[in-house]
Structure 1
Amino acid sequence: MGLEGVASGVMIKEVLLKLDVETLCSLACVSRSLRFFVYQALSLFSTLNLSTFSPDAQTVAHILGRTRTNGGGLLKSLTINCLRLDDSCVPLFLSPHLHELNLLSCSLLSYHLLPSIRETCPNLRVLTLELVEQDSPKIFKCNLVRMLKGCLYLESFCLKIRGTGDASTLQSIEFFLPKTLKILKLQPLLEQDGIHVINQLQFDRTFSETADFGIISPLGPCIPLQCLSLGLDIISDDLIILITNSLPLLIELDLEDRPHQEPLLHNDLTNKGLQSLGSCHHLTSLSLIRSRRNHQVSFKRINDMGMFLLSEGCNGLESVRLCGFSKVTDAGFASILHSCQRLKKFEVRTALLLSDLAFHDLTGVPCSLVEVRLLSCSLLTCETVKKLACSSCLEVLDLYGCRSIADSCLRSISCLHRLTSLNLSGADVTDHGISILGQGSSPITHLCLRGCKRVTDEGLSLLLNSGTIGKSLSALDLGYMPGISDKAILTIAKVGVGITELSIRCCFYVTDSSMEVLAMKRRFQDGSKPLRRLDIYKCSGLSVNSIKSLKRPLFPGLHWLGIGHTRLTGKGNAILTEIFEERPWLTLCLDGCEMGCHDGWQFHIPEYRWS
């Protein structure tokens, strides 16, 4: 190879190193020359993210094998979706070189994975585990302790157990955490177990390798925790006051609870608990979420006074997320907006008393808001959106469930030059308003119009055929929109060149012709990207024949397809079996999950190679 060839090879490798794994694998199929350069690029990767799809064991072995050849072994960070991987795959992705390991959606991995991590990855700094609740909590506790004893350099530890949600798996566990720990995320926990964990964080617990639970020195310096996230059954004053007294260096606090019943008055969060947060002088991010389980619950002992005390004591907050504060009015929420001068992210959910008045004087204060989420706040109208539009920095605007949002504010939204994500789910917008949004200059990549019943095929055509949004859009949600039919889907296939995620769930007038045009989306226009994820849940207009659109070479690159409650779900279908064999990366969801199965992967059936 001459000097020119060497230079070209170096340039090609530099370009390939900037691409994601999916694109690299596609390029490797083009020619032998490109395959050679792809393999070389993979061997130089220090960070690998395999979370956007669910690889099987063969794919994982092939990709990770290439990172360890040609002088490789440089891989320091690995994130992987383990939905299809069992215990036999563990040796494939564990390595002593890893400093960061994120194992997501571990539906088939057992608790025996934990000691393997300790033995193979002693240098871990970051560890994230999403496991399924199993029938052996004693084995889990024993293996967790063994693992933590071997991970002496952990700076970040995130453990999520998905299952019944009764917190039995993490109950009464001794967390032997290293002094280096800065980030801790655990769920689900009972409140008393959360208190037990915080008490453990106050001490440096040196332990013996020969004893499973032996503690040599129970006293020592406090672990310098900076970020704490807990999923609980109840958030109480006792818990928050303990946190503020025990963790003086705390920067981020994220607490979410899901009470089984209405909390008792003596064991709930009150204004006193909020006031105690003022002693966390370094706190910049606060999230307090009370989610409904079987019935509507809220923090009934917190009112505007609690918000006044919080905003006065924590005026350095840059991110605030609140849900379940049913007794707080405009005055309480406005105090946060006015007192926290550096506020960049503001989220409020299900605030029954929040109205436009909370944002009335927003133009009179310095506004650096980057992300605003106001979910299911029924009293908000277009006036609030117009006030928020004064923030030229706004990148995310989520108005999910705000049903009084209408066309009159869409012109203000269309002028936001940095807006990349917009959620108008359930809004009272029409084709006219959507056309105004399309004529704007907002570089929106994620747009949700779910439940916008007055938007039709014509409105979608006006949206995508004018302005910049037709080129910038990558994810579009048109679920539960009766005005959407095959005509709109044809527009998306021809004009939405960058759209890779599409939800048309419960669009009853979508038929087989829509599947056909979406299957060939990449062929309509040069530079058009194929769909990666498609949700057709409850699209009753599709016949069983539409399953033929899933055969190769149609739908190139499709990784996830939601087909629950359609005629495509017959497990005995020979074509479906053939599709499974020729598309090992494709996940079919029959359970009605939202895009990517982030909300229900632990309940899926692995033996059919669908989720």
Structure 2
Amino acid sequence: MFKTTRTRTANINKSHQGRKRSSLKWRERRSFHDMAHKTTTTRTTDVTATRGGDSLLERIPENLLNEIFVKLEQEKLSTLCSLLCVSRTLESSVNTALSTFSSVDLSEFSVDPQTFDKIRRKLGNIQKLTLDCLRLTDSSIRNFIGPDVEELNLLKCSSLSYKLLSSIGITCPNLRVLTLEFSGIIDKSTVFDLYFKSSFENCRFLESLKIKIRGGDINDYSFMLLGIYNSLPKTIKFLKLQPASSLDTLVFFRTLPIPATFGHKLTQISLVLDTITDLLLHTITNSLPLLTDLDLKHQSPSDTSDDLSDTGIQSLINCKHLTSLSLIRIRHHNSTTFKRTTDMGFFLLSEGCKQLESIRLSGFSKVTDAGFTSILNSCSNLKKLEIQNAILLTDLTFQYVNKPKPPKVLQVLQEVRLWSCSLITSEGVHELAKCTDLKTLDLFGCKNVSDSCLLKVSKLNLLTSLNLSWTNVTDSGLLTLNQTNSPIEFLSLRGCKRVTDEGISNLLSNKGQIGKSLSSLDISHNPEITDFAIRIIANFCVKLVELCIRNCCQVTDVSMEVLGLKGGIRRVDFYNCSGLSVGCFELLKKPLFRGLRWIGIGRTRVVCVGDGGFEEICRERRWLTVCVDGCEVGCHDGWQFHKF
């Protein structure tokens, strides 16, 4: 049946090129959908009958199945759950395996309370729990957590009450790791429920605390964040607050006996601040002599007179154990930067922090190649390098590193990310390609990078992630990339406007390595991409689970049908694909898109079906999130604005 259906679909695809579908062809597609649904129903009946009969599965020794399932990765929870209905033997073995799980991660999809409750009943005592709480209720969480939980990560808590979140420590006194991510888009009066003191007093073993507020004004939470500072357990080693007031942070570090209380415990700190000043950096580094990881982000959209300068950078020399440093100025429309930091600050940093293994820098507009090169030449154990919005960074930085004698840093670098560094060209990438251990290469927004560097890049045998977003690569360059033997799992061609259907064909044809390894592909914001490219992707990317094609206006219903037939797709983004019709809504129903967990359809005609249509889909696919708000894949940031 499927062979006949694929032939018919191919014929429909050809006839749809360059014009709208006729009503006759739409009836053919609808007929296909009905046939597929009927076949699926028949197969389900057969499976049900088999459960009561003498099938081959029933003959497999149960102890053998138990041994297999117990050894499966615990991330395969959804796969195990899908086997429950196949046979009685599998159901018993899966339940046995689930009862042995001590760690559960359900963060990749939003589970409704009913499904979550069914999963919970099959699990034993859970010590580590990570949840996407977008649809869950207070009672769902209360029924799951208890004294056995040592690591708890609650993400996207827009549906949970602040009273529940602030009392977690009382319910789970043995917590070692706690992460809470909730929405700041709320009634401000409810913020007063965020009182953590009594909760933290019960956490005698808490080592890691992460509290993230999405979308809120820092002024609304300043009193609460200061309260968190003052009630921190003495056992804390890793602290992350987002956002955090720089004034509250100064008060905390300057008024409390930090060295005596936290000085030998608190070694990792991550803060999203309204401003980063010399005084703040000096105070933190002096108070925490054993600091190993420092991550500070400045998110204010305006410049300040008391901004970070070379003097503040110099204070980092006090951190003799520092291995990871991140100083980020989050870019806004007015492109604010650290204008008081120069090469001199970086010279001092390179002399005092030679043990750094990870460096992330963003917004240093006055630092030149000399400053960046000094760090690369001094930090011989550097594994991760990220530089964003460095308008004076050029290819010379990496050429100086290579001459006259290549330093050890080129032998150990594993991740390089150069974001929006407009003066970096293919020559600089040539030099980076000499880092033979490179696993991640991110050139997002480096508009002067072109095809000429891809031959060298294709020879990086360990490369798993390649981001060419908003670069100047073309169809010819993708033909070169087709020859790679690298196990590339993630590839982004977002905004590469010279990439067309031919380029996608060049990349994936001839059954090259990249088609076998690719699991995530982003070809969004490319006006020349059509259904032809999507068909090639569906045919050649055998392991694809995530595809982003937002703002590809020539993509039509044909693409959605092809992807629906493929199976295995977990996340797909059609945002602003204006070629989709309202009829695409029918393609979201079973049996198409097996295993789909997230789909973005904002600013398409599909949203015209209204809330009733989406409620129907969600009832049928309880693990599916349909995003109409324009979030990037997975709604990792933007969920706080959703209406449920």
2:472 and 2:183 map into 1 onto residues whose CA distance is 40
1:286 equivalent in alignment to 2:305: no
Show the counterpart of 1:111. 162
1:517 and 1:575 map into 2 onto residues whose CA distance is 22
For residues 341 and 203 of structure 1, do their structure 2 counterparts lie closer, same or farther at Cα, with a shift above 3 Å needed? Answer: closer
1:556 equivalent in alignment to 2:594: yes
2:121 and 2:255 map into 1 onto residues whose CA distance is 40
Show the counterpart of 1:538. 576
Any conservation in 2 of the 1:277–1:313 contact (CA below 8 Å)?
A: yes
Show the counterpart of 2:370. 331
1:155 equivalent in alignment to 2:211: no
AA matched with 1:156: S
Any conservation in 2 of the 1:104–1:129 contact (CA below 8 Å)?
A: yes
2:460 and 2:350 map into 1 onto residues whose CA distance is 28
The equivalent position to 1:45 in structure 2, one of 101, 111, 125, is 101
Show the counterpart of 2:407. 365
1:299 is paired with a residue of what secondary structure?
coil
**Post-superposition offset of 1:440:** 0.8
Any conservation in 2 of the 1:115–1:143 contact (CA below 8 Å)?
A: yes
Any conservation in 1 of the 2:298–2:329 contact (CA below 8 Å)?
A: yes
1:173 equivalent in alignment to 2:196: no
**Post-superposition offset of 1:200:** 6.4
1:241 is paired with a residue of what secondary structure?
helix
Any conservation in 1 of the 2:66–2:94 contact (CA below 8 Å)?
A: no
Any conservation in 1 of the 2:62–2:93 contact (CA below 8 Å)?
A: no
**Post-superposition offset of 1:391:** 0.9
2:344 is paired with a residue of what secondary structure?
helix
AA matched with 1:384: G
Question: Which structure 2 segments of 5+ residues have no match?
Answer: 1-56
Question: Which structure 1 segments of 5+ residues have no match?
Answer: 205-218, 523-529, 607-611
**Post-superposition offset of 1:294:** 4.6
| TM-score when normalising by structure 2 | 0.87
The equivalent position to 1:11 in structure 2, one of 54, 67, 70, is 67
1:555 and 1:599 map into 2 onto residues whose CA distance is 25
For residues 317 and 533 of structure 1, do their structure 2 counterparts lie closer, same or farther at Cα, with a shift above 3 Å needed? Answer: same
AA matched with 2:315: S
| TM-score when normalising by structure 1 | 0.91
1:307 equivalent in alignment to 2:361: no
2:611 and 2:207 map into 1 onto residues whose CA distance is 49
2:156 and 2:228 map into 1 onto residues whose CA distance is 24
**Post-superposition offset of 1:510:** 0.5
Any conservation in 1 of the 2:553–2:578 contact (CA below 8 Å)?
A: yes
1:439 is paired with a residue of what secondary structure?
coil
**Post-superposition offset of 1:258:** 1.4
Show the counterpart of 1:20. 76
1:431 and 1:92 map into 2 onto residues whose CA distance is 54
**Post-superposition offset of 1:146:** 1.9
**Post-superposition offset of 1:393:** 0.6
For residues 319 and 221 of structure 1, do their structure 2 counterparts lie closer, same or farther at Cα, with a shift above 3 Å needed? Answer: closer
2:139 and 2:551 map into 1 onto residues whose CA distance is 39
1:173 is paired with a residue of what secondary structure?
helix
Show the counterpart of 1:403. 447
For residues 4 and 169 of structure 1, do their structure 2 counterparts lie closer, same or farther at Cα, with a shift above 3 Å needed? Answer: same
The equivalent position to 1:468 in structure 2, one of 497, 506, 513, is 513
**Post-superposition offset of 1:576:** 3.2
Q: Deviation per CA, 1:419-449, whole angstroms, max 9, x where unpaired?
A: 0000000111111110111111111000000
Q: Deviation per CA, 1:41-98, whole angstroms, max 9, x where unpaired?
A: 1110111100000111112211122113xxxx2x210000001112232213312101
Any conservation in 1 of the 2:465–2:489 contact (CA below 8 Å)?
A: yes
Percentage of pairs with the same residue = 51
**Post-superposition offset of 1:244:** 0.8
**Post-superposition offset of 1:573:** 6.3
1:229 equivalent in alignment to 2:274: no
For residues 268 and 476 of structure 1, do their structure 2 counterparts lie closer, same or farther at Cα, with a shift above 3 Å needed? Answer: same
Any conservation in 2 of the 1:94–1:121 contact (CA below 8 Å)?
A: yes
AA matched with 1:565: R
2:335 is paired with a residue of what secondary structure?
coil
For residues 141 and 110 of structure 1, do their structure 2 counterparts lie closer, same or farther at Cα, with a shift above 3 Å needed? Answer: closer
1:429 and 1:436 map into 2 onto residues whose CA distance is 11
For residues 286 and 92 of structure 1, do their structure 2 counterparts lie closer, same or farther at Cα, with a shift above 3 Å needed? Answer: same
1:221 and 1:427 map into 2 onto residues whose CA distance is 46
**Post-superposition offset of 1:517:** 0.6
2:209 and 2:219 map into 1 onto residues whose CA distance is 18
2:345 is paired with a residue of what secondary structure?
helix
AA matched with 1:154: L
**Post-superposition offset of 1:131:** 1.3
**Post-superposition offset of 1:333:** 0.7
**Post-superposition offset of 1:139:** 5.4
Show the counterpart of 1:195. 250
Show the counterpart of 2:113. 57
For residues 17 and 312 of structure 1, do their structure 2 counterparts lie closer, same or farther at Cα, with a shift above 3 Å needed? Answer: closer
Mean Cα displacement is larger for which, 336-345 or 108-117? Answer: 108-117
Q: Deviation per CA, 1:459-510, whole angstroms, max 9, x where unpaired?
A: 1122112421001000000001112100011111111111100000011111
Any conservation in 2 of the 1:16–1:24 contact (CA below 8 Å)?
A: no
Q: Deviation per CA, 1:218-268, whole angstroms, max 9, x where unpaired?
A: x7564511100000000001110001110011100000011242111xx21
Any conservation in 1 of the 2:165–2:194 contact (CA below 8 Å)?
A: no
Q: Deviation per CA, 1:103-145, whole angstroms, max 9, x where unpaired?
A: 0011111211134312220000000000122435685466211
Any conservation in 1 of the 2:150–2:176 contact (CA below 8 Å)?
A: yes
1:377 is paired with a residue of what secondary structure?
coil
The equivalent position to 1:511 in structure 2, one of 556, 568, 576, is 556
The equivalent position to 2:335 in structure 1, one of 296, 315, 321, is 296
Mean Cα displacement is larger for which, 58-67 or 318-327? Answer: 58-67
AA matched with 2:328: I
Mean Cα displacement is larger for which, 452-461 or 97-106? Answer: 452-461
1:275 and 1:186 map into 2 onto residues whose CA distance is 24
1:121 equivalent in alignment to 2:177: no
Any conservation in 2 of the 1:407–1:432 contact (CA below 8 Å)?
A: yes
1:273 and 1:336 map into 2 onto residues whose CA distance is 17
Any conservation in 2 of the 1:334–1:358 contact (CA below 8 Å)?
A: yes
Any conservation in 2 of the 1:12–1:37 contact (CA below 8 Å)?
A: no
1:89 is paired with a residue of what secondary structure?
helix
1:498 equivalent in alignment to 2:537: no
